[in-house]
Chains A and B, each alone.
Chain A
Amino acid sequence: MSTQFIFNEDQEQFRENLARFLADKSPTTEVRAQMADIRGYDPAVWSMLNQQLGLSSIAIAEQYGGAGFGPQELAIACEEMGRSLYCGPFFASAVCAAHALSATGNEAQKQQWLPGIASGEIIACLAITEHAPMWSDEDIRTTATSNTDGKYQLSGTKHYVIDAQVAEVIFVAAREIDGSIALFATDTGAHGLTITPVQSMDATRKLNTVTLANTPAERLGKADLPSLMDYVLVALSNEMIGGAQTLLQSALDYTQLRFQFGRSIASFQAIKHRLAELLLEVELAKSAAYQAAHCLAANEDVREHASLAKAAASEAYVRVASECIQLHGGIGFTWENDTHLWFKRAKSSEVLLGTPAAHRERMLHAITHGARAKARIG
């Protein structure tokens, strides 16, 4: 297995441009505005992000209007999104939906939607989760039935659908007559489809319940849900380490500035050791997240590393978030201080697509039963 632990110059340049743009266009005043907004994003900033930086196109193949970069550039983008807590449909549309369509759609379907997703003009989202947090065939009870004319109808309920409130098209996992799982595309305005926003403590990421009642849909193709989830996990892990780094930096800045007992609180060894441990934890998680992205880019089996990264990044993010509040003291518990924005994102990311414990289990399973284990034995 190969590894690559540093990004090349172009990649770093891309990171820098994006970071600068986000610092400018998505300061926390803007994040707070989007938290309070039902759409949860600013269309003007979204189109600038896409026109100036081609953000949504990065992981989409060139023949479909994409930039044709790979998972590593995607990981960079996610890291910067997490760092700035940018509120917009990037994760839902350019990561989840674009990948699901690329993996399951036929040529005509890709031509139909990918260029729009790549330019940001079409916002798509992905509806898979029903009851279990992790994507698996067993969890899918939504049904797809086909009419004689080859048209499909979907019925069922999807939970935790990110950014459905602003999507134009939804890719839905459903069970076919033969029991297998396929993805289907349906317009958000389609008959029998309702989108209900879900109230969550983390208002930076909008969630919805989507119900389908004989909703007309177009079939994309058979779906391998665990593999789709692997890809999304890698993106999410990189997003989480971005957020964790913001908080760590904030804790470093604040503890050096804050004086108690006639000295900066960062000069107390109790605090220095904590910050050192936090750096360790964040850097370990970062290596895991980068390694998973590299694995995807190299087309290697990523299951083990995707779950490893998710478990490590979740725990590092949550830990750094609660320590960051603690190190701020009373001010860290206020609404006015920005720490809680990341804290809430950390908590919601921790449980999104499975808890750390579930991913440790999944990682072990991949090690003992996965493709690499088979290769080792056979």
Chain B
Amino acid sequence: MNIEEIRQDVRTWLAANWDPNLDLIHWRELLADSGWGAPDWPSDYFGRDLDPQLSAVVDEELAHIGAIGAAHSGVRMLAAVTLLAHADHKQKQRYLRPILTGAEHWCQLFSEPGSGSDLAGATTRADLQGDEWIINGQKVWNTSAHHADFGLLLARSDWDEPKHKGLSYFVLDMRQPGVEVRQLKQMNGHASFNEVFFTDARVPRTNLIGQPGDGWQIAMTTLAYERRSFDRPRNPAAKTASPAPIYKQYQEELEIANEPYKWYPQRAGRVDLILQRANDTGAINDPVLRQDIARLHILASSAHWTAQRARAAQKAGKPQGPEGSLGKLAASHIGRLAAQVHTHISANDALLTGKDSPMEGTIAEILVSTPAGSIAGGTDEIQRNIIAERVLGLPKEPRFDSGPFRDVRRNTSKEPKQP
């Protein structure tokens, strides 16, 4: 199918089905069942097998008549991509539709106090008892866990295997007595991530994804997507002045679902604000700052084209691999440099947050949010290791953690000292 045929199809479908007086979830159910909510997904699972490049026209048509699209924000897309790749038929049937309709929210339960970069060192345990896996342990830094219905859980099901082989991947129901979520406050004052404690939490056997021991492989799918999606905007705003209740519902959903991500644009450094700020402050005439601004522009543009180049390669059938790490590392450089340039443009005013502060505190928020970019989703150092070992094929670090996991040296419970 070519672009114009698709455009015609989606137009016809929208003309027959879009109705701003529908309930939001109900509308999205129609959308999901028609395949137009995720046209690049398989046609067996709420999609239409369309080329991802072509599905942009669907968004255009939705926007054109003010129709609301499928839910895309938050961790749900990590869940969708992982389930599409590894879940069985029943699991896909059960979970993919409410992901698209926005009826259910997700979080990623990977990091632990003792294992972050070394994700495969997870010590949250999963023990099979009859038809249930019993989960005990703790996760940390879990974005949106306080809103989530389900978690993508990486847990250890076998302690005698080497660390990467003893992990399994589960879909965990967050709304159960054995799961306790505590919000954590960040240095930028927001509280978007959490600690999650499991005390005999239960996962039905049918919620194991793949086979026992496949956890690490499956987690790689989730992480590769997370790293690749670093340069994509997350918060589509509903652009309409219509009073129809569906828009109000949509706004409310965005407010709740996007609340943990409110500061995410700032964490990327807000390159988009640089020229405006430079013009407003007169910094655009400062020869030193001009050089910095130009350098940032070059970095951001070439990173953008690198991402496009990777997508084009993917489209041409070249395998997608750890290239996402390049984009993520570039994003860290951009965030850091942008924060520095913003600091110098705003000078004395850079840290102000109250009224009369530049852009109502946005600049200050950039400065205290960009440090997250080079940590979340795998640190810069880990991206460099991946690039060095998996892209460049350089020799691996000598390992100190092979053999059965129960014998591997780990963090003690000693509280790390603060500065």
Interface residues of A (CB under 8 A from B): 28, 129, 133, 159-160, 198-202, 246-247, 249-250, 253-254, 257-263, 265, 268, 270-271, 322, 324-326, 329-340, 342-344, 347-348, 350-352, 354-355, 357-358, 361
Contact = CB atoms under 8 A, between A and B. Distances in A.
B367 A329 contact: no
A129 B349 CA distance: 12
A352 B353 contact: no
The 5 closest A-B pairs by CB, nearest first: A199-B354, A250-B419, A262-B401, A340-B187, A262-B400
A357 B354 CA distance: 26
Interface in B403-419: 408-411, 414, 416-419
10 contacts: A28-B418, A199-B354, A200-B351, A246-B419, A250-B418, A254-B416, A329-B117, A331-B416, A335-B185, A347-B343
A129 B408 CA distance: 58
A263 B400 contact: yes
Contact of B380 (A202, A326, A348): A326
B418 to A, nearest CB: 5
B350 interface: yes
A362 B47 CA distance: 62
B144 interface: no
A159 B184 contact: no
Contacts of B379: 326, 329
B409 A338 contact: no
A214 to B, nearest CB: 24
A347 B185 contact: no
B352 A333 contact: no
Given A160-B348, A262-B401, A351-B351, A330 B141 contact: yes
Nearest to A28: B418
Among A202, A337, A355, max chain B CB count under 10 A is at: A355
B224 interface: no
A268 B374 CA distance: 18
Given A259-B411, A339-B419, A333 B348 contact: no
B375 A326 contact: yes
Interface in B362-419: 364, 367-368, 371-372, 374-376, 379-381, 384, 397, 399-401, 408-411, 414, 416-419
Nearest to B367: A347
Nearest to A85: B419
Interface SS of chain A: helix
Contacts of A247: 419
Contact of B353 (A201, A250, A265, A332): A201
A351 B348 contact: yes
A157 to B, nearest CB: 12
B118 A325 contact: no
A343 B399 CA distance: 34
B69 interface: no
A352 B343 CA distance: 11
B412 to A, nearest CB: 8
B329 to A, nearest CB: 13
Nearest to A350: B343
Nearest to A321: B371
B186 interface: yes
B419 A344 contact: no
Contacts of B380: 326
Given A257-B416, A257-B417, A334 B184 contact: yes
B313 interface: no
Interface string B296-330: 00000000000000000000000000000000000
B116 interface: yes
A351 B347 contact: yes
Given A198-B354, A262-B408, A337 B418 contact: yes
A352 B348 contact: yes
A346 to B, nearest CB: 10
A347 B397 CA distance: 36
Contact of B400 (A200, A249, A261, A350): A261
Nearest to A255: B416
A264 B142 CA distance: 24
Contacts of A354: 347
A262 B399 contact: yes
Contacts of A324: 419
B288 interface: yes
A81 B187 CA distance: 22
A261 B381 contact: no
A315 B348 CA distance: 16
B351 A201 contact: yes
Contacts of A259: 114, 409-411
Contact of A261 (B118, B187, B367, B374): B118
Given A133-B348, A330-B116, A322 B354 contact: no
